[in-house]
Structure formats: C-alpha cells, structure tokens
Amino acid sequence: MLVMCLLCPDTAVHAAKPEDTISSPSVQETSSIERAEKEKRQEKQILTLGQLIKKYPDTFKIHGPHVKQIALTFDDVPDPRFTPQVLKILSEQGVKATFFVVGSRAKKHPDLVARIVREGHVIGNHSYNHPQFHKLTMVEYTDQIIKTEKILYGITGYKPKLIRPPYGDITENQLRWAKREGYKIVNWNVDSLDWKGISKEAVKRNIMTTAGQGSIILQHAGGGSTSDLSGTIGALPEVIRELKKKGYTFVTLPRMLKVQKDK
C-alpha cells in the first residue's frame, strides 16, 4: 500500500507496512483529527512542514537536485551498539554518509563521534536530548542547538551547518532563527522506518521502492534502550550494492546540497 509522505506531500511516497494499518485510526477518525488540526493551524496561522519547505527552499531541504546521487543519513548517534556496525559497512562499501548527532550522547561517547569524522563522514546537529521542537520556547530551542554545537566543536573542531530536528519537527520561528544564523535544516524524502524494529526485508523494501535521484534517506545508527536496528544494519550492504548497480553514487549532504559542512 502506498501512502503520501507527510514531509513531502507533493512527491514522496513510501510503503506502509501492515502494522501501520492495524494501529492506525479509522478513516473517519483520521479525517476528523485532520480537520481539527487544520482548524487549529488556521487559527494560529501555523504553517505545515510542507508549507515551510515551500516558503524557505534555501534553508529547509528534504532532497537534493535530480541527479543520480543519493545521501544516506543516520540519526540518533553515537550509540556503541549500532554506530560501529554501520561505520564498518560504510567503510567496506567505500561510502560516505551524514550522521545526525544527539549532544547528550556525544558527551557520553566522544570517541565514537571522533571516529565518524575521522572516517570521512559528515556530522550534523540533532539537538541535545531529542525533544519535539514545537513544544520548546525559543530559548530552550536555541539552547538545544548551541549546547550540542559546543560539544561537537570540542570533539571535532567544527560547528555543523546542518540541523535535523528530532522527528523532523520545527516551527516557522525556529526555522527563521536557523536561517538567520546560517544553518540549513535537512529532513528526508525516503523513510526506512527502521526505528520500528522491522525486518531487513522491510527496511530494504521501504528504501528501494522510493529512492531516486537526489533522495535523502533516513535511517538510524542509534536508539533507545529497547531499539532493535538489526533490520537496518542487515539491509544496508544490499541497499548500497543495488543502488550502485542502478548507477547511483553516494554523497554526503554538504556535497549533495553544495553547502559547507561547517559554519
């Protein structure tokens, strides 16, 4: 079954798995929830992510130019259980990727962040402790970014230009601050849904059915205490091999988006 991707309402679709269908609210419930949401947004004139992407095309990205390039991105790092396994596969395949780092985790495992950078990958800022940005005040939000930036600067010697908001969630005011300060906000247009602990086959299917020119693929190389990322790790070598066979090259986000990795 194909559903519209919330983050890229015009173009992106991804495969929904049976468990989505089971746990989803009924069509009627969904439409009344959607209507209430819409009304709330209209009252406060809150723009949806899709509208923000259209309004701030230079600051808010979900894909690159339509050329045969793909950017692999791994969120919620560093995590000693999963990040080294992902790094090993990328090294074996000769692929460079982009890792979005959570500040509090970087503080616990600085060596792993240093290793990501040493092995030629790029890091971005994924907040200090992974809150939903729309629930934060502006001060709390900027603290999340700056606190993480200081930690990453201390470990790697650079301040990442790229920010990926946890859950892809950001408000217009937060986006405007990021724009003013010279950051780029980067979400994705291909969602592996790997955080659900799904099988290697399901991760591979989610990626292969929607990846194309300029795709930014969301995967994870870190998670909570009960996270199982064996599906994403199992799928990764095959996904890379098959996309290479189709003529795609793998690039980091700064290379794809033609921006600096640092500020």
The single residue of 14, 63, 75, 194 carrying the catalytic annotation is: 75
Residue 166 or 254: the one with the smaller Cβ distance to Zn ion is: 166
Name the residues that contact Zn ion, by CB under 5 A.
75-76, 166
Closest separation between CB of residue 83 and Zn ion, Å?
A: 13
| Type of residue found at 29 | E
121 catalytic? Reply is: no
* 75 is a catalytic site residue: yes
Tokens found for residue 212:
């194309």
Q: Which residue is nearest to Zn ion (CB)?
A: 75
Residue closer to Zn ion (CB basis): 59 or 125: 125
Nearest approach, Cβ of 196 to Zn ion (angstroms)? 13
Cβ proximity to Zn ion, 64 vs 222, nearer residue = 222
Task: Please state whether the peptide bond connecting residue 18 to the residue before it is cis, i.e. omega within 30 degrees of 0.
Answer: no
Kindly tell me which of 112 and 243 has the beta carbon lying closer to Zn ion: 112
Cross-strand pairs, 15: 2
| Residue 169 to residue 134: CA distance in whole angstroms | 7
Other CB atoms within 10 A of residue 9 CB: 14
Least separation in angstroms between CB 104 and Zn ion: 12
Q: How far is the CB of 144 from Zn ion (least distance, A)?
A: 12
Cα 174 from Cα 179, distance rounded (Å): 9
Residue 243, φ and ψ in degrees, nearest 5: -70, -35
Q: Which amino acid is at 218?
A: L
Distance from C-alpha of 58 to C-alpha of 197, rounded to nearest angstrom: 34
Q: Which residues are annotated as catalytic?
A: 75, 220
